[in-house]
Structure 1
């Protein structure tokens, strides 16, 4: 078996150009030195760019053989001779900017036919009433229903389904096996493989006579520049819209219930579950495997630690964690007290 490289090595770029992209300062060394790729600290060799953001890896910086390193001021003294320090306010963010230039094809999924032309594959089924702008690529097996609108520059991957009446904006990437129904999707949205948008919310009137299904008649509205990870599900609203605000980034295997409103530039990590009618204001960040009860509100800029349960409203800017979630200082004190009690109880046993 051969060993393919899916993202080819970029053309050599000077350190001065890297510094301009990264908004970084060349502290010492030759700005004309050529960079031929990006590597981790411990695997770098001559010609590669590295970065240091986490102090855990500072010792690897001292041993790296890279050509240049994006680094914060506090680690400048640890950059070895022969490595060009590029002083950056936020090295990781600077690296993202550089890699966006070096590996432009990795910025959004390209579909099963990487780099294919903007055409409708004859093996796709597109209803004649669908409105498809010029420059759209629809891959084999995809189904586009009646009345659908798709904007230019969008890729609809193999075996994706876009159901009747849905709207997709421009320059979107709709991955293989994605299902979209009852949804309005903005521009530059990325839906990774297996995402399901707009299916029924979980609504039943429970009773001894049986659980009576409540029709879900709302929509899903996904605003511009949202990215949603593989196998995540976003239920349509029961009686109003489920909304995902612009710039929000959602990881793999997240569940978003009906009537949920997520603000702008939020971050939801893998396996988060948001119950119906919860509201997340702008810039909320939620760690992995956290559950949010229905009908609660999480204030702007709040942060919730991983593996927590949010059962009550969270104020703006709050930092919460635990089961149930509470202010992190209180949570840490409680955990420390429990540990002391456990140690005390164990000390008396022979």
Structure 2
């Protein structure tokens, strides 16, 4: 259940309405209503919950929730009286319903509140803001910047000269955006940096000569960028993030990187310069890539993977250096077995040979 100080308590929503908006099959009392969301083990009779992972089946059998999204294969294990919302994609359906109950949680909220130019904000007279833009205290908007209706520029955010930001965007507190063009409904979380210099130097024994970075950052519609992420502008062409892509906190995207549509980039990942990602690529936490490679559409790289070469479309890679997942798992299993065998040999006194050396 959300704290009403931060997320207003929603009006009750009938399970029939929830089934209608999510396409789930309703099984049970269609007059029941819910007004909150909670995990299976904590849910009360007024809460909506979900079961997608079989690991939580025991909690499902004893939940006291009012209604639950569940896969049809697990529906027969529901406790008596629980209203079921049967869906092939329970978590996705739950997300849709939760967004209906708590719409204010779908994007960062204003710190100061209100619409218009807040006290202490500075908007250059040559900037162009459509009606309905909110600029919070301490924010700075540079000359010739253009910002679309419904966009929030948070407290102490900085929008550089000539930047273009579309409609219904959120540039959260303390973020900075320079040398960039943003589409509509882009969410930028606090502290993120977009459009700063790419890391480009001509190295040599006489020192490292800085290479001018004259590209831009292009961020398409419906992209979300987590807190304290960094997206460098291009060196001699643009850094591009495709529509619908979701970038987690603390991600580094270097100059000239091109990311396709609807990719998932998880926290602490670093993508080196001029790397190209196709559509629907998934990079797990702390993945690192070398530069100038391609990761094909639909490919997935597991957490901490070190990508040194091109990854084919649809492939699943893991390990360091990253390789096809099945090969990496087999290699890991062999190494583990060899380590056990070596440990089992030991010395006549029972010590480990390597440790005694």
Decide: shared fold, TM above 0.5.
yes
Structure 2, gaps ≥5 residues long? 351-357
Report the counterpart of residue 16 of structure 1 in structure 2: 16
**Partners in 2 of 1:46 and 1:318 — Cα distance?**
44
Do residues 158 (structure 1) and 155 (structure 2) align? yes
> Cα offset for 1:100?
1.3
Q: Which residues in structure 2 correspond to 1:19-38 (within 5 Å)?
A: 19-27=19-27, 29-38=28-37
Secondary structure in structure 1 of the residue aligned to 2:338: helix
Q: Name which of 285, 300, 304 aligns with 1:288.
A: 285
**Partners in 2 of 1:161 and 1:37 — Cα distance?**
36
Q: Structure 1, residues 58-96: CA drift from partner, whole Å, max 9, x if none?
A: 110011101111000111111100111110110000011
Q: Structure 1, residues 289-338: CA drift from partner, whole Å, max 9, x if none?
A: 01011000000000000001001000000000100000001001000000
Report the counterpart of residue 59 of structure 1 in structure 2: 58
Do residues 248 (structure 1) and 234 (structure 2) align? no
Answer whether contact 2:248 2:265 (CA < 8 A) is retained.
Answer: yes
Report the counterpart of residue 7 of structure 2 in structure 1: 7
Report the counterpart of residue 136 of structure 1 in structure 2: 133
Secondary structure in structure 1 of the residue aligned to 2:256: coil
**Partners in 1 of 2:72 and 2:343 — Cα distance?**
46
> Cα offset for 1:223?
0.4
Report the counterpart of residue 81 of structure 1 in structure 2: 80
Report the counterpart of residue 355 of structure 2 in structure 1: none
**Partners in 2 of 1:277 and 1:133 — Cα distance?**
35
> Cα offset for 1:107?
1.1
Report the counterpart of residue 274 of structure 1 in structure 2: 271
> Cα offset for 1:117?
2.8
TM-score of the superposed pair, with normalisation by structure 2: 0.95
Report the counterpart of residue 146 of structure 1 in structure 2: 143
Structure 1, gaps ≥5 residues long? none
Aligned residues: 345
TM-score of the superposed pair, with normalisation by structure 1: 0.97
Answer whether contact 2:35 2:101 (CA < 8 A) is retained.
Answer: no
**Partners in 2 of 1:190 and 1:173 — Cα distance?**
5
> Cα offset for 1:4?
5.7
**Partners in 2 of 1:70 and 1:97 — Cα distance?**
11
**Partners in 2 of 1:92 and 1:22 — Cα distance?**
11
Report the counterpart of residue 353 of structure 2 in structure 1: none
